Each structure stands twice: as structure tokens, then as C-alpha cells.
Structure 1
């Protein structure tokens, strides 16, 4: 049963590249230039992502990395005149990977909310909700029905952060437990080890639909949020370069084309107020 289930789920300004806090213009420019040369030395744009996070980034049936975010990153790299490198990472080690220079950015359904001051951010490019997923035949029909239940989240995820903040919701649960990735979480749910999984609606929709899983999303969300591209704090140079490529992709319709490939419609919000 578990193996079958697994198969089923298997010309922008620097100011626009966010992050709060300030220093002298000279020192900021110097730091930015230093950071942006990490991969520029070999002309490679290295994107960090969770390989168990479809449709944003994952390993396809052919064994190759694919996904909506990875397609966007590859197109941006091409427009920057750089080679793309997909670097799968452990999600709870993403900050260490970024700080060490192993990756140039985190581009993987990366939620801005709650992390505003931790990275230099691009503009948001997509909206998302944090939601609860339960079995299709579960007696849990609403958020209130989760009282006394066990909920699972991915370690260091936006869902985990949201539940820690929204104690009016999580305090009713019997337990909130963590796991390394959402493939494992949904397997735990399918086997009855947990009552619900808190996760991104974008990923939940894709997994349920593509895998024809007997799961459902509750109508009440935990929070609404936006996805952005996260760079090492202070690396405004690379952020601006990538953002310029994204501006061009928006203008010539490439963002819409890639979105329709993965979602059947344009879900992007790049450049929208």
C-alpha cells in the first residue's frame, strides 16, 4: 500500500530586492558584489530547492529535476547568460547552504511571510495558502474538527511557522509533529499515522490531482502568503540581475507560458500591486 501511494505522489532597481536594515551605500555595494561572484566565477547560477516539492521542484519520472520554479530559474539563467545548476537541499539546512555559498538563491515555493528580514527578496511572483489536508473519507470536515487530532508539518516550513504563530489554531491539536518532507507526511496521513497535514495549497492541489490521491483540502486556510526568490541577505546585485530577467519574462509572455504549462492558467503575480 505504501509503495503504491509513494508512486502516486512520486531593469529593476536594487531597492526592489528586499530585506530590511541598512548600512552605508559603499559597504552594501561591496558586500553585494562579493556575494554575487560566488557562482559568477564559473558563470553558473545555482538554485537551491526541495526535490520533494512538486510542482515547484521535484524529480520527474525520467529521473531528471523539473518543476515550475526550476523552469523559471532555467529561463532566467539563460537570459543572464549563465548555466543553470539545480541543487537539491535539505529544507532545514537551506540557510547554511545559502550562507556558505553552496547555492545562490532559494527558489522553491519559498514563502516570504515570517521571513521578511532574513533574506534579500525578489518581488513576489505567486500567491499561496497554507492549508490542512485530510483523508477524503475523514470525519474531519472543518478546522474545528481537528481539535484533539495529530497534525504533521515539514520541518522549518511556512506551515510550521504559521502554526507556531497562530496558537489559537494549534493549541487545540493533540500534537503537532514534524517530518523531513511532504511525501513522507502524506504517506503518514494515508496510513492513518496522523489525522491531517498542514502544507502549501499549491503543492497539495498538485499531489492530490496528479497522484489521484484519496485526500481532500479543508476549506479553511491557516494563512495566505506569497512566494518569492530568496537570496543571501545583502546580495542585492544578484537579486537585481535575476529580477531584470523576470521583468523581461513577464513582458514577453514567458511567465504566462510556463505557468500554463504547469497550472493550466496564469497564476503569476510578478509586477502586480
Structure 2
């Protein structure tokens, strides 16, 4: 390959990489725009290692995926279907007699729209799926708020039977068993598409709203470039819903939220 050809190849690769980066940074979702994406984690469902309840839950979930229930719930909550659960219409027929029980489900109520509380009622995508699973199995259901980092303690103590609800669990953990890593979840820095902020560099003096959780603060503290540009940070008690309300009413300039929440409000 001569020098001219090499130069052309390098130029084209550079243009391609720039285009991909620009697309990622300026990705539009309805009336919103992503300025920056942070680490992505897998949402999964966790059980005690020796608990056979997972086989019943897995069978019911596979049947739910096969008849379109999972897909329809995804469309309702996200406007599209980013969920990956293997479908098997014969799954329920493969399990033996299902014993009667109450399934205690640990959910992260700060992970809107995967799981949250509204007027003392548990709601969300994962909550709907868990209810559907229990309906198919003839079980009662109870929800308890937990955090992903406490999944092992909650499971091993018997406080919950399954950790499931906006939880980025440790897929490789030997302390508990995870099944069906079903969806990617990550934080995104979001602005309204009609405002003047088109890049992180233009956020000088801007006001950011985010959830009050420690994970959100850790992300901001690790991003010195963004942190040093911001004029103020508001830690919202109402989570993603409060953040989007503040962004919609121009009380803040940008928000840090889970991408699933962006999908929900942009649909």
C-alpha cells in the first residue's frame, strides 16, 4: 500500500471514529438529547444458591416472553423493547406441580421505571413482570425495598426470596445465583433538545439535577471535567421523575438519570 493510500485509510478511519463518538454524545430521544453516557451494567435476577424457586420463576418468565407479555410491558414502559429473556411456550408444562407460596421480591424503588413506589403501591416494569410470574404460578407476592449491594445479605437472611427490580447484580458472584441478565442499564447526562447545550464543554455554570443516591454522586465526583464546569448540583429526593419535571420546567439545565428513565419519558 503506497503512502497516499495509507493516508486516505487513516483519514477515513478518523472520520468514522469521530462520527461514532458524535452520534453517541448527541443521541436524541424525543425532546431530549444525551450529552454523555457512563458505565453500563447488566440488570439480572438473583436467588439463593440452593433455592429451587428460581426454576419456577424462570419457567414462568420464559412463558411470559413466549406469549408477548414481556414485549408488551417493555413497549408500555420504554416505548421499545430492550429486554432479552429467552422464550419458551412449553416452559410451564415442563415443571412439576407448583407448591403454593408467597414470593418475597426485593426491589430498588429508586430505579424508576424498573421499580418505584407511588401512593404506597409498588410499580414499574420489573414489578409488573414479577406480578405476572406469580399470577402464572398461582403465588401471592410481596415487595420489599432493597439495594443491589445488599442483595446477598437480604437473600441469605431469608428477608427476600428473589432480588429483582432495577438491580445491577454481580453476575459472577458465588454468594448467590443470577439468571437472565435481561437488560443493560446505565447513567446518562441529559438535556432538553431545544436548549443551548450541545456538548459537555458548553455546560459552564449549568445546574444539574440528579437522584440523591450515593452512586450518582460518585459518578459526578469521578467526572472532574463535568463537575468543574457545573455551577450547581441539586440532589432530588423524587428521583428520575423529579429530575425530568425540573428539566421540563427549565428549573435545571441538565440531569443525570438511568437510560431506562430517559426511554420512559421520551416515548
What is the TM-score normalised by the length of structure 2? Answer: 0.48
Q: Which has the larger radius of gyration?
A: 2
What is the TM-score normalised by the length of structure 1? Answer: 0.47
